[in-house]
Amino acid sequence: MTVMRLGFHLSIGGGLLKAVEQGLRTGCECAQIFSRNPRSWQSKPLAHADAREFDQARRRAGLEPLAVHLPYLPNLASLDEELYLKSWQSLAEEMSRADLLGADYVVAHPGHAARDQNRGPALDRVAQAIELALEKSPGTVTLLLETTSGQRGELGENFGELAYLIGRVNQVPNRPPLGLCFDTAHIWAAGYDLSTSAGLEKTLAELDRTAGLSALHLIHLNDSLVECGARRDRHSAVGLGRIGARNLARLVRHPQLAHLAGVMETPRTSDADDLANMRRAKKWRRSGIG
């Protein structure tokens, strides 16, 4: 029986190998990291020896797949030309860093539309930014666009917008096709109701009808502190939020999703928090009981 691989977004505080150590301590089978400070434009180049050592260590630890998340500052839809340039160049740099680290994916939010910016042209601007970044960063890493909650003008709050971007950019030859990262807390906040089996099936049917289920490569397995449709990004420990244990258990065991990896981005003060989240998620995977 195929089961969803489970892991966390791991901290690189103290060095890349510290993330592997955290993954081993907390029972991870897959992982996501930032490759640099997510709240700064500045980054120190990755030493090839350090990247190779990290790649070898995480593979020995069985952390498969590995995703690298784009930092928070880029806005690929920005109308400010200086910010737009810095944003797509940051994405290009992240693709190259992820390739050096041996990662499978880079996960990126599409960006924010300004108040007076129509969403259609904003999406075209994002597509152009991605195309520029991919031209500058040849490699084998797959870029995944993440579903968003829709707060503060976020693009990608519905599968149709992400399908449009994927369709536009996938016309570029000789690159791994763009894919999708499905964040449970984000789609819940954007209005996709996961509280019933019918709601989950309706959500997956819309995804298949727009981007296609084959475009889905990664799950961000998060619970939410807000109600469905609240359009706010507020993560909770899995099973203890508004989505709830039974509904996340249904998703983890769903036959169309079980072959994927589920990365938890949960509030953390110590390993104890991670271990509690992992115990619940692995229980759902075994028995489906919330």
Query: What is the per-residue pLDDT across 33-78, written as a single tens digit (0 to 9) for each?
Result: 999 999 999 999 999 999 999 999 999 999 999 999 999 999 999 9
Give 174's pLDDT tier (boundaries 50, 70, 90): confident
Give yes or no for residue 290 having a pLDDT over 60: no
Please say whether the beta carbons of 61 and 20 come within 8 A: yes
HSE-CB of 118 using CA atoms within 13 angstroms: 3
What the block records as the tokens of 235 is: 């993560």
The fold for domain 5-287 equals TIM Barrel (3.20.20)
Q: pLDDT tens digit string along 111-157?
A: 999 888 899 999 999 999 999 999 999 889 999 999 999 999 999 99
pLDDT value at residue 27: 98
Mean pLDDT computed over 248-255: 97
What the block records as the tokens of 27 is: 């029972």
Give 175's pLDDT tier (boundaries 50, 70, 90): confident
pTM equals 0.97
Handedness of CA 227, 229, 235, 240 (dihedral sign): positive
Nearest to 140 by CA among 204, 197, 65: 65
Distance CA 252, CA 159 (A): 20
